[in-house]
Copies of this chain bind each other. A is one copy, B any other.
Amino acid sequence: MSDSTIYEVARLAGVSIATVSRALRNTGPVSAATREKVQRAVEQLKFTPSRLGVSLAEGRHAANGIVFPDLSGPYFAEVLLGYEEVAAELGRSVLILSTRDRDGVPATVKDLATRVDGLVVFGQTLSDAMLTELAESGLPTVLLARDAHPGTEAVRSENGGAAEALAVHLIAHGHRAFALAGGHDEGDVSQRWTAVARTLGLHGIPVPRPVECPYTVEGGYEAGLRLLPDNPDVVMCADDQVALGVILAAEELNLKIPGDVAVTGWDDIMAARHARPALTTVRQPLRELGGAAARVLDELIAGVEPTNTTRVLATDLVIRSSCGPHPPAQEEQ
C-alpha cells in the first residue's frame, strides 16, 4: 500500500520511531501534540505499517489457513464461507490451500503452516501421520468433518442420529431393498453408514455394502449405473452430488423417481432443492461448521490447550419428493 517506512514518518514528524509506533497503536502515553504531528506525517506519506515487519516483531501472523481437497462442490465453498466470515470478524486473514490430487501436498502444507498461526483441515485431506506432525510442531489445528486426532480439536455435524432417522423414514415408506452409493472410509460418511446398517439390522432388513465412488455428480452417475440394475427400492447416497448423479443414471435407465426407485442425498446443497425430483436429504449447517472451526481455532491460538474434543453440530432431515410420495403437508421446498 505504501513504500514509506516508519522511519520516514518519524523523521517527518520529528520524533522517534518508538513514538510513532506508540501513537499508531495506542500502546503507550503520547502527548496530544505529538500524536497530531504523527497523524499528519502518516497521512502525508500514506503510510501503512508493513505487515511483515509487524508480524516479525509481534511473532504472530494474524492469519490462519484452511486446507480442503477441492472447492468444486458447494459443500466446501459453504464451509469456507462461514470460516472466512468468522475469521475476518476475529481480525485474521485466511489463506486457502486446495490439495486436489496434487502431489507434493505435504510440502505445500508445511509451507502454509509457516504462514499462519493456526490451521483448519478438512476430514481426510491429510494423512494421520501428517496431522501428528502438525500437532507435534505445536501448530494449533482444528479438524473439520471428522473426529479429533490427538493434539487437535474437531468440529463436525451430527451423523448417526440423522442417518438413523432417514433410514427409519425410508423403511416407513415400505422400502426394503437398500443400496448405498459412495463411501471409502471417510469418517463422516462411514459414521452414517454404520447408523444406517444398525437401523436396517434392527428391522431385519439386509444391510448392503456401500459402493465406492468419488463424491461428484459423475461419480454418482457411475455408481447409479452399477446399482440400479439390481432394482433397489432406494439408493441412499453419501452426499447430494452423488444423489444427483444417481438421478441422472436413473433417467438414463428409464427408471422413475420415486416411483421405481427412491433416492436420498446428504448436505442439502442448493441443487438438491432444484433437482427433478427435489431431493430428500439431510441438511448440514455448513456455514456454522466453518464458523465454529474458526472460533475453536482462535481459542487454540489464544493459548487454550487442545483437548482432543469433537464438537458436534445438529443436522436436519429434509423430506422432499425423491424418497416417495407424501401427503403435501409433509413436503418441504
A139 CB–B CB distance under 8 Å = yes
Q: How far is the CB of A74 from chain B (nearest CB, A)?
A: 6
Pair B72/A78 contact, Cβ less than 8 Å:
yes
Pair B93/A93 contact, Cβ less than 8 Å:
no
Indicate with 1 or 0, residue by residue over A84-113, a CB within 8 angstroms of chain B CB atoms. 110010000111111010100000101111
Pair A88/B97 contact, Cβ less than 8 Å:
yes
State in angstroms the CA–CA spacing of A3 and B139 once bound together. Answer: 10
A-side interface residues, number (CB < 8 Å) = 57
Which B residues touch A110, using CB under 8 A?
1, 48
Q: How far is the CB of A307 from chain B (nearest CB, A)?
A: 22
Which B residues touch A73, using CB under 8 A?
270
Which B residues touch A113, using CB under 8 A?
1, 48
Which B residues touch A56, using CB under 8 A?
52-53, 56
Which B residues touch A114, using CB under 8 A?
1, 48-51
If A94-B95, A275-B276 touch, whether A88 touches B108 (CB-CB below 8 Å) is yes
Indicate with 1 or 0, residue by residue over A17-54, a CB within 8 angstroms of chain B CB atoms. 00000000000000000000000000000101111110
Which B residues touch A247, using CB under 8 A?
274
Partner of A88, one of B80, B102, B139: B102
A127 CB–B CB distance under 8 Å = no
State in angstroms the CA–CA spacing of A1 and B138 once bound together. Answer: 7
Q: Which of A252-301 contact B (CB under 8 A)?
A: 270-271, 274-277
If A217-B270, A271-B270 touch, whether A1 touches B139 (CB-CB below 8 Å) is yes
Q: 4 nearest interchain CB pairs?
A: A276-B276, A77-B77, A271-B271, A51-B114
Write the residues of chain A forming the contact surface with B, with a CB cutoff of 8 angstroms. Answer: 1-3, 46, 48-53, 55-56, 61, 63, 70-74, 76-78, 80-81, 84-85, 88, 93-98, 100, 102, 108, 110-115, 137-139, 217, 241, 244, 247-248, 270-271, 274-277, 333
